[in-house]
């Protein structure tokens, strides 16, 4: 809050000497890494709708069949979500980038999602079966399910489990939507004291019935007859509970739309502030530096970014996401945003981290992520030959995407996370120790690591030493916020001081 940070890109760029290059790089990684996450939500909504439409029949959608874009419901879902996001998130330009009405809507959808999931869980556990003991006993007696009760004693199984836990921890902090809600939308630091226990409690509550529903679905349907991703919806349908099935669909759709809207707003902010505007302001023939009002241009860029991001998510769903389960698509995004961890956590606690180190580490980790997770998905869709995965590029076995440098015993996601984080951390620390920080990098490092020394109890910054006329500030602010928002901001400041 002291540094007026409004995105992950803003944070990293500000910490390492206010670097626009670093901000642009983080933005590109965030967009490319989050597109699979948005694709996941589009797939979930589209699949749920198609299944619900067949009620009372339970249909496994089976292999994806190519249909024209303009007949694909997922395409129209993406457009509707783009319109909603524009209406919710870009009606006005806010200096703080906060959208309190949007946060209230997200909080409400979180309750709907929880109620729907608990309702299905109670129905399966106590309506179809006779409680947790009964369903677990039956699952244990099923040979297909019995092996799932324990981690298999194979090489790498415990390490993979630990890496998945690490990946989830990183996603809680560094997914753009999580950063947006936790940091940017936060209006009072004291709210974190409640979130510290309420958020884990919510995660516990929404996971209590995961295993009963999964076991119930496997025991209720023949193997492969119904996609396990859809058990929450298909179990109420096959048990002839249409009201419960509709509640599940509404809960799932509200969850997916909430995720997409917040993630897209966060990405649009980064694209506008850290990617597009720095370039446009440097193009002499546009003469944007001489314009007295840039607010309409900023809003147009953000709205265009929202449409672009959602259509990219749809394209990923159409060409790549159809081959993967919802969980595996999500983990691809989790692994991408985990690349921000060294630069951010190192930047908070380690003064020696430099811009060159952060940039090099991010690029190294992102390249390895793309090579070990994205490249194999492109192989599966036919963009590259299967031999790239089976034999390695040019037949080099040590470069197999799923067995990089001979590491064989991790699952695909854990393998990608291990190598991407290894290169990211190693390069970040190595380059930082080898390079000397500039004066502004040194200053920013001190201000970030020792932030509490430079902030008084009211949360105002004490490191600003300049002076400026109110009229000059007003003229500057009006270029980006417009006259009305500028007047409100200056009046609010005057009231506080």
Whole-model pTM: value is 0.85
Cα Rg, the chain, nearest whole Å: 25
C-alpha 146/C-alpha 289 separation (Å) is: 67
The closest alpha carbon to 479, from 284, 291, 276, 285, belongs to 291
Note the residue count of the chain: 497
CB under 8 Å to 244, separation ≥6 — which residues? Answer: 119, 120, 123, 236
- Residue whose C-alpha is closest to residue 266's, from 11, 3, 1: 11
Contacts (Cβ under 8 Å, ≥6 apart) of 467: none
What are the tens digits of pLDDT across the range 439-491? Answer: 888 888 888 988 888 765 434 555 556 778 888 888 888 888 888 888 888 88
Average pLDDT over residues 321-326: 71
pLDDT confidence of 60, banded at 50, 70, 90?
low
Q: What is the biggest distance separating any 2 CA atoms in the chain, rounded to whole angstroms?
A: 77
List 461's β-bridge partners, or say none: 455
Of all residues in the chain, the percent with pLDDT exceeding 90 is 28
pLDDT score recorded for residue 293: 72
Residue with tokens 């502004």: 440
For 347-400, what is each residue's pLDDT tens digit? 999 989 999 999 999 999 999 999 998 888 888 777 788 888 888 888 888 888
Nearest to 260 by CA among 44, 53, 115: 44
Residue 115 confidence class, pLDDT cut points 50, 70, 90: very high
* Percent above pLDDT 70 for the chain: 93
User: Whole-angstrom Cα distance, residue 42 to residue 74?
Assistant: 6
Give tens-digit pLDDT for 401-434: 888 887 888 888 888 999 999 999 999 999 999 9
DSSP three-state, residue 463: coil
Tokens coding 104: 């209230």
Name the residue with tokens 């147009």. Answer: 300
59: confidence class by pLDDT, cuts 50, 70, 90:
low
Q: Which of 9-23, 286-300, 354-368 has the lowest mean pLDDT?
A: 286-300
pLDDT at 92: 66
CA-CA distance, 219 to 362, in Å (whole number)?
45
The whole-angstrom separation of Cα 368 and Cα 250 is: 38
């Amino acid at each position: 809050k002291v540094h007026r940070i409004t995105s992950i890109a803003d944070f990293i760029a500000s910490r390492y000497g206010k670097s626009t290059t670093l901000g642009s790089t983080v933005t590109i990684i965030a967009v490319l890494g989050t597109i699979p996450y948005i694709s996941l939500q589009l797939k979930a909504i589209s699949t749920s709708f198609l299944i619900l439409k067949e009620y009372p029949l339970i249909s496994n959608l089976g292999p994806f069949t190519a249909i024209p874009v303009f007949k694909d419901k997922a395409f129209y879902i993406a457009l509707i979500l783009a319109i909603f996001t524009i209406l919710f998130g870009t009606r006005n330009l806010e200096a703080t980038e906060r959208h309190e009405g949007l946060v209230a809507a997200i909080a409400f959808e979180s309750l709907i999602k929880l109620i729907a999931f608990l309702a299905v869980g109670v129905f399966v556990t106590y309506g179809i079966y006779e409680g947790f003991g009964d369903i677990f006993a039956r699952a244990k007696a099923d040979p297909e399910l019995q092996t799932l009760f324990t981690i298999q004693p194979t090489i790498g199984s415990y390490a993979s489990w630990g890496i998945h836990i690490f990946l989830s921890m990183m996603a809680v902090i560094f997914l753009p939507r999580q950063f947006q809600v936790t940091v940017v939308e936060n209006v009072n630091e004291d709210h974190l004291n409640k979130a510290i226990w309420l958020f884990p409690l919510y995660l516990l509550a929404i996971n209590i019935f995961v295993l009963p529903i999964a076991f119930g679905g496997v025991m209720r349907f023949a193997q492969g007859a119904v996609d396990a991703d859809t058990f929450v919806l298909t179990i109420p349908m096959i048990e002839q509970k249409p009201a419960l099935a509709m509640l599940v669909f509404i809960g799932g759709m509200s969850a997916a739309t909430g995720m997409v809207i917040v993630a897209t707003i966060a990405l649009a902010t980064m694209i506008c502030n850290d990617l597009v505007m720095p370039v446009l302001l440097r193009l002499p023939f546009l003469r944007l530096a001489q314009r007295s009002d840039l607010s309409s241009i900023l809003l147009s860029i953000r709205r265009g970014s929202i449409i672009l991001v959602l259509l990219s998510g749809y394209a990923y769903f159409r060409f790549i996401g159809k081959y993967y389960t919802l969980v595996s698509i999500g983990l691809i995004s989790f692994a991408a945003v985990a690349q921000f961890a060294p630069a951010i956590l190192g930047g908070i606690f380690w003064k020696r981290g430099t811009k060159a180190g952060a940039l090099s580490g991010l690029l190294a980790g992102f390249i390895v992520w793309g090579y070990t997770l994205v490249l194999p998905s492109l192989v599966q869709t036919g963009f590259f030959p299967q031999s790239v995965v089976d034999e390695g590029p040019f037949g080099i076995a040590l470069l197999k995407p799923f067995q990089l440098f001979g590491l064989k015993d991790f699952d695909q996601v854990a393998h990608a996370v291990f190598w991407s984080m290894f290169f990211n951390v190693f390069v970040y620390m190595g380059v930082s120790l080898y390079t000397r920080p500039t004066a502004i990098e040194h200053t920013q490092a001190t201000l970030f690591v020792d932030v509490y020394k430079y902030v008084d109890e009211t949360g105002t910054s004490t490191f600003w030493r300049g002076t400026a006329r109110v009229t000059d500030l007003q003229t500057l602010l009006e270029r980006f916020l417009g006259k009305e928002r500028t007047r409100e901001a200056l009046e609010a400041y005057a009231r506080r001081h």
